[in-house]
Amino acid sequence: MDRQELYPLSYPQKDIYAIQNYYEINSINNVNGDILYHSEIDSGVLEKAIEQVIEEHSSFHLRFSINGRNENQYLEPGYPPNIIKEDFLGDEEGFNTWIQKMNDQDIDIFRDYLYLFAIYVHPSGKLGYYFRLHHMISDGWSMVLIVNEINENYVNLINDKKVKKENPSYLEFIEREQKYLQSKRFEKDRAFWLEEFANAPREKLLDGMNKKIEGTPHARRLSFEFSRQLIKQIHQFCEKYQVSVLTFFLSCISSYFYKITSKQDFVLGTLILNRATKREKDIVGMFINSMPIRIQLDSESSLHSLSENIQKKLMTLLRHQKYPHHLLKEDIRKNNETTDKLYDVLVSYQNASLENEEYPYYKATWLFSGQAINPLSFHINDRDNSGKMEMDYDFQTDVFTEKEIKDMHKYLIQLMENLLNENEEHIKHVDILNQHQIEKLAKGEHDAQYPLKTLPELFEQQANIHPDAVAVERDTEQITYKDLQKRSNQLARYLHSKGVRPNDLVALYMDRSIEMIVSIIAVIKSGAAYLPIDPSFPKRRIDYILSDSQAKLLITTKDYQAYIQKELAFPGGLMDVRAGESVQMDTTNMTVKNSPDDLAYIIYTSGSTGNPKGVMVTHRNVVQLLINDQHPFTFTDQDVWTMFHSYCFDFSVWEMYGALLYGGKLVIVPKEVAVDSNAFMHLLIDKNVTVLNQTPSAFYNFIHEDQATSVQPYSLRYIIFGGEALKPIKFKKWKQKYPDIQLVNMYGITETTIHVTHKELTLADMEDNVSNAGKPIPTLNVYILDDHLNMQPEGIIGEICVAGDGVTKGYLDKKELTEKVFVDNPFLPGTKMYCSDDLGRILPNGEIEYIGRKDFQVKIRGYRVELGEIEREILQLESIDECVVLDYLDNSDNNSLCVFLLMEEDIGSFEIRTYLAEKLPEYMIPTKYIPVDVIPLTANGKVDRKELENLLKEKENNTLKTVVAPRNSIEEKLLAIWKQELQLDSISVDDNFFNIGGHSLNASYLVVQINHCFSIKLSIGDIFKFPSIELLATYIQSVEYTAAEDKVIQPLEKRTRYPVSSAEKRMFTLWEMDKSSLAYMVLCQEFGQVKCRNFLA
C-alpha cells in the first residue's frame, strides 16, 4: 500500500490519543505482557515465530503523523522487527528492575516503534519473552491473538510446517467506521445516546474523584480471588435468572455504591469488544470501545429484579454500541456541559486468557502499568478452564489508599453474599455488613453510671459544701452559693404560690445577669422547666415561641416590663424577678419532688417548616452529660467558667451547670465584651478563667487578637469547642504558643443534650485538618447509618444517629415531627435514637469525622439555621416571587448566607435586610443578595443548588461597579486592611462592609487590624456605626487628632549622655554578631553624592 495514502485515526484510537495528550506522559498507554515457558524452548525459533506475527499483522507497520490539528496514520512496511534479547540468569533484582523500566518506557507515537518484543533468560534459567504494545495499535483481545499466534507459529516451525496467514488489515476497520459515520444508523445511534444521557447526573460518584490529578495518574492494582463457594453461587444465580456474569457484577457494584452514597442515578463504564465480525476478531489493533451505563436504581428493587433490568439495558445499549465513545463525550459535553469524563468507575469482565489449553507449557501474565485514567476500575477475570475467578482493583493512589480498597473489597464481598442469600429482598434492607460486624459497631464502648438525681438536688449539694464560695459574678457583682441558694429558693416558692407545678413552662425574658441565673435555678427548683427568650429576638419570633409553648408565666426585669405589656401578645402571668413579694418568701429548700425524667428546660431551634421548634430536655439528660463515673474531664470546685453564650444557645447549659454542679465559679460575660476580643482576653486573665467554651468561629476571632500579643498569663486548663464544624489547622499557632492548654472538640446536637462526642486535639490532628469529633461521651452511642437505618462500615459516610440517655423527649407538641426523627433504636429495642441529618464516618481508630449537614440546615457562627425558615420570611415580601438561600464560605473561610431573588419589581438589599431584621436574629440575615431571572432546576424538578453556587462564584469574579479610589493615606491603609480581610481585589471607599461579604465576626477581625495599624482603640460597634471606608476614615481622623492632643511628647533636659533605646539595643546586638555586614548601613544623598555611613557610628 502506498505510504502516502493517509487514514484518519479510528475513534478508539482518538480516545487513546486524547488520553496521551491530557496527561502529557508517553507511557500511560503502554500495554504489557510477559510469557514464561516451563519447558525447553529454542530462542532462535521463538524469535522467528515472533517475526512472523509482526510481518503478518498490519498494525505493527502503522506510523502516525500530524498535520496542523489533524492526526493521520499510514502503513510503512520494511522496518526491521523490534526484537531484543536479555539475559538475567541468577539476577532476580535486575530482572524486576528491567521489567519496571520497560513498562515505564515513554513511547513517542510519531517517532518510536509502537511495539517491543524482548526474548530473555529468566533468573531461574527458563526462557521467556516480554512484549510492550502501544494502545494505539493493540487492545486486550489483540494480546491474546498475538500470544496464541506466536505459540502456533513456534509449533509449526519446530515441526517444519510452513503456514503463512493473510490476516485482514486494521485499515479495513477504519474504512468501515468511516462508512458508518455517514450512515442512517449512525444518526439513529446518536439520537439514542443523547436521549439516554439527557439530564444525566454530573456529580462524581465518590468523594475525592473530582480531584484533578496533576502529571502522572499513578495507580496500583490489588487482586483478590473469590472463594469457590461464592463462584458457584454467582454462576447458579446467573443461570437461574438468565443474566450474564457482567450483569451480576454491575448489579452488585451498583448496589454497593447506592448503599455507601445513597445515590440512585449514576454512571458506570464498561468495555466492549467492538469487533462485529469474525474477520475483525482476527485483526490485531485498537478496537475496544468504552460504553457508559446509566444506572437508575430503585431502592425497592431486589438483586433479582435489578439484574433483570440491567440485563435489558445492556442488551439495548449493545444494539447501539457502534457509536464511538469519543463522539458521545463531545455530544454530551455540548448539550449538558458535563465534565470531560462520562464516568469515573469502570467495570469490565473477561473470560479470555493469555494462556491456552493447547499450549500448557507456559505461564502468561498481564503486567499492570502503574497508571490509570479512571480513579477506580473493577476487572473481573473469569477463568472457566481453571474454575477460578478473581477481581483486580485498579485505583489512583491520589484518590484511594490501599486500606480503603481492601475495605471496599471486604464490604463488597459481604454485600454480594448477603444479596445472593436474600436475592428477593429489597436492596435497601440488605446490610453491607455481617451480623457480627453490626453487633460490634452497635455495642459501643461505654456503660457509665451517673446519679439518678435532679439538677436542684445536685446544686443544693454544692451549696451545702461551698456556701461561702462565689457561685456567679458579672462585672463587679457577685453572689455566693449560699445567697444564690436562698434567693432562688425564695423565687421558687413565689412561683409555686402562683400555681407553677412540675413540668409547667416558665419563660424568661432578660439580659445576661445574676438575676438570669437566679431565675433559672428558681424555675427548676419549683419543679417547672424554663424557656429562655433573648430580648434581641424579633418580635414575631418571640410571639411565636410564647404562643407555641403556652408558657404559664413570663419572668423578666423591670427594664422590659413595659415593652412586654405593650408589644407582646402573652396571655400568661408576668412577673419581675426582683418583685418585692418574692423576697419575703422562706429561704429554705422546697420539698417539691421532681423525677429525673421531668423537664428541665426547653430551647427553640430553627425549624424546617419555617417556624422554630421547642426541644424538651429532662434533668436526666443534663445530669448524664455532666456527672458520670467515666467523665472525660476533671472538673473541680477550683474551676472558673465563663458563660459566654446566650442562654438561648444550649452551649450555655453546659457552661452554667459545668460550674455550679462542681462547686466552681461562673463568670457571666457581658454581650459587649463577648464581641470584643481584646476586652474578652483581659476578662479571661483578670478572672483567672480555667474552662472556656467557644464556637470555633468565635475562637478564630480570639486567636487573631491573641497572636498580636506576647504570651498571656492565662489560667486556662480547657478550651472546649462546640456548635459547628471546626478547622483544626487554624489552632496550630495557638497550640504551639500554649501547649499546656487542652483543646477539646465536642460535636453536639440540641436534641441529644448539647454534646455527643469528645476529642482532645493534638498538633498532629491540626496538621491532618480533619474535623475529628472523637468518640462518644460515656453515656451515649453513635451509629453511622444509611437512609434505611442500616449500619455503615468504617470509612463510609452515613447519617450520624445518637442513642443513649442524652436523647431528649422530642419536640414540644409536635408528635409527627418527633416520631420522624426520634425513632425506635433497631440495635437496642425499647429505646429511642435521634437521627441528626448530620453526616459523618468512622475513622480507622474508631473516632468519628464530622462531614456536614445532610439537608440544607446549616450552622452559622454556632447557631443552627434552617434555610427554609429564612426563605419563608423573605417570601412574605410582595415583590418577591421566589427565593433560594444558600450557605457559602466567605473570603475569611466562615459560613455565610446568600439569597437568590426572583422579583416582580426591583427591591434593594437594604430594604430586605431592614425587613428581615424585624423578623429574624442577626445571624440568620443573608449577607449577599443576588437577583436572578430564573431559578434553575434539576431534571427532577428540584432547585439546582450547584448551578446557583456557580452563579455566585461568577458574580464574585465578574462584579463590575464604579470604584471610588482612596483620597488620603488613612483611606489607603483602610482599603488594604479591607482587601486582606474580605479577600477582594476591588473595593470602593463608599462600599458598605456588610454588603460586600462582611458580618459581625469578620468585623471583629477588622477592628484588630485597624487598631494595630493606627494605634487606636476602635470597638466593633464603630464598624456598625461607620460601615464604609470613607466614614470610618473620617472617624479615625478625629480619634487620632484627639489622641495627638492628649499625648504630646515633652522634651527632656539637655544632657551629654542618654540611655540607649530598646530598638537601638536590638540593632547593636545584631551588629555585634557580624560587624562586617552592610545590613545595618543606610544610604543618604548629600549634595548629589551618595555616601555610606555606619548606622551605629
Task: Give the 3-state secondary structure of 545-570.
Answer: HHHHHCCCEEEECHHHHHHHHHHCCC
Instruction: Quote the cell numbers at residue 975.
Output: 482599603
Q: Which domains does the chain have, with CATH numbers?
A: 7-173 (3.30.559.10), 203-208+217-436 (3.30.559.30), 857-958 (3.30.300.30), 969-1046 (1.10.1200.10), 1062-1094 (no CATH)
Distance CA 641, CA 984 (A): 39
Which of the four pLDDT bands, split at 50, 70 and 90, describes residue 1078? Answer: very low
**Dihedral sign, Cα of residue 547, residue 548, residue 550, residue 555:** negative
**CA nearest neighbour of 813 among 629, 611, 971:** 611
HSE (side-chain half, CA atoms, 13 Å) at 13? 23
Contact predicate 675/1004, CB 8 Å: yes
42 pLDDT above the threshold of 50 = yes
Average pLDDT over residues 147-166: 88
Q: What is the CA radius of gyration of the chain?
A: 37
Distance CA 975, CA 993 (A): 11
Identify the pLDDT of residue 661.
97
Beta pairing partners, 307:
none
Q: What is the pLDDT of residues 758-817, one digit of tens each?
A: 999 999 998 887 889 999 999 999 999 999 999 999 989 899 999 999 999 999 999 999
Q: How many Å separate Cα 48 from the centre of its chain?
A: 59
Kindly give, in sequence order, each residue whose CB lies less than 8 Å from that of residue 330, ignoring residues fewer than 6 positions away. none
Give 432-470 as a DSSP string.
SS-HHHHHHHHH-S---------HHHHHHHHHHHSTTSE
Identify the pLDDT of residue 386.
66
Beta pairing partners, 116:
132
Average pLDDT over residues 723-733: 81
Q: What is the pLDDT of residues 669-690, one digit of tens each?
A: 998 898 888 999 999 999 999 9
**CA nearest neighbour of 27 among 133, 106, 109, 135:** 106
Kindly give, in sequence order, each residue whose CB lies less than 8 Å from that of residue 298, ignoring residues fewer than 6 positions away. 264, 306
Helix axes 303-318, 228-241, angle to 10 degrees: 70
Instruction: Quote the cell numbers at residue 818.
Output: 418527633
Strand bridging mode 470-474 / 665-668: parallel
Average pLDDT over residues 420-424: 91
Which of the four pLDDT bands, split at 50, 70 and 90, describes residue 1070? Answer: very low
> E strand or H helix at 371, and its extent?
none
Beta strands in 540-630 (DSSP E): 553-556, 573-576, 599-605, 613-618
> E strand or H helix at 321, and its extent?
none
Distance CA 514, CA 628 (A): 28
Average pLDDT over residues 861-879: 77
- Helix ranges, 775-908 (H): 815-821, 867-874
107 pLDDT above the threshold of 50 = yes
Identify the pLDDT of residue 894.
72
Distance CA 724, CA 785 (A): 21
**CA nearest neighbour of 649 among 693, 689, 702, 596:** 693
> E strand or H helix at 34, and its extent?
strand 30-37
> E strand or H helix at 143, and its extent?
helix 140-158
Distance CA 743, CA 707 (A): 17
Of 81-95, 233-247, 565-579, 1016-1030, the least confident: 1016-1030
Of 167-181, 691-705, 959-973, the least confident: 959-973
Instruction: Centre a 10 Å sphere on the Cβ of residue 896 and count the other Cβ atoms it contains.
Output: 23
User: Who has greater pLDDT, 771 or 1041?
Assistant: 771
Q: Coil, strand or helix: which one is 66?
A: strand
Distance CA 267, CA 756 (A): 37
Most confident segment among 423-427, 464-468, 730-734:
464-468
Q: Coil, strand or helix: which one is 94?
A: helix
Distance CA 122, CA 95 (A): 7
The b-or-e profile of 987-1023 (16+ CB within 10 A means b, else e) is bbbebebbbbbbbebbbbbbbbbbbeebebebbbebb
**Dihedral sign, Cα of residue 680, residue 484, residue 648, residue 571:** negative
Which of the four pLDDT bands, split at 50, 70 and 90, describes residue 708? Answer: confident
pTM of the model: 0.74
Contact predicate 76/61, CB 8 Å: yes
Which of the four pLDDT bands, split at 50, 70 and 90, describes residue 210? Answer: low
- DSSP summary character for residue 1088: T
Q: For residue 468, give Cα distances in angstroms to 476, 635, 748, 800, 852.
A: 17, 19, 34, 44, 46
410 pLDDT above the threshold of 50 = yes
Instruction: Quote the cell numbers at residue 38.
Output: 516451563
592 pLDDT above the threshold of 90 = no
